[in-house]
A and B are shown apart, each in its own frame.
Chain A
Amino acid sequence: AQSVAQPEDQVNVAEGNPLTVKCTYSVSGNPYLFWYVQYPNRGLQFLLKYITGDNLVKGSYGFEAEFNKSQTSFHLKKPSALVSDSALYFCAVSPLRGGTSYGKLTFGQGTILTVHP
């Protein structure tokens, strides 16, 4: 069975500093990995995904994530945090097997990012 772990419930960072939100996964073979963001009382918004190719993936709002197969990690990063980045962030993995497993995402429990002015 596949799983995703976000080891930090909360991350606090000062505005202008770099931020990292951690994600590790457990799957058989090559994973498809996603990051989503949720602002208060809103649905999830897609940030970026890793399918194949370059291990560094760039996404929306200046975010990027690095796929590290040896460490089974897919950490989300941003060079300079903004107060408006404060939100709940989810990492998710899509199952490896084909067939009827269309797009079934397994989500981590989420990490609350707070950026202080």
Chain B
Amino acid sequence: NAGVTQTPKFQVLKTGQSMTLQCAQDMNHNSMYWYRQDPGMGLRLIYYSASEGTTDKGEVPNGYNVSRLNKREFSLRLESAAPSQTSVYFCASSLAGRTDTQYFGPGTRLTVL
């Protein structure tokens, strides 16, 4: 099993450009999450999907959109990138529920110039 995979690993954008970060899991998990990691701030939840067909905002959703394409895949889109979105983005998945362990992907390092 590959676990949680993310593409791309690195990306550089100019302000105003758009891009989609891809995430897939092969653990048959119901819930999927997108986080951003910034120095000294831990991880902050951007969006999550409790189950296929549902999505909801997390702590810092502004400037992002998500799509739960199917049970395996959960993408994060930046419609018009801003320098404040320079960060490392992590996707995670869990079986379901608040006591279940979340498993994380390797991350995407995004720089917006």
Contacts and interface: CB of A to CB of B under 8 A. Distances in A.
Main secondary structure of the interface of A (DSSP, over half): loop
Given A45-B104, A90-B43, A104 B58 contact: yes
A101 interface: yes
A110 B106 CA distance: 17
Contact of A103 (B42, B98, B107): B98
A42 to B, nearest CB: 6
Nearest to B105: A43
A104 B42 contact: no
B104 A100 contact: no
Contacts of A45: 104
Interface size class on chain B is: 20 to 34
19 contacts: A36-B104, A41-B107, A43-B107, A44-B43, A46-B103, A51-B99, A100-B50, A101-B98, A102-B31, A102-B50, A103-B48, A103-B50, A103-B94, A103-B96, A104-B33, A105-B33, A107-B43, A107-B44, A110-B40
Given A9-B40, A102-B96, 17 more contacts: A4-B42, A36-B104, A43-B4, A43-B107, A45-B104, A46-B101, A49-B99, A90-B42, A94-B99, A100-B56, A102-B31, A102-B98, A103-B33, A104-B98, A107-B43, A107-B44, A109-B42
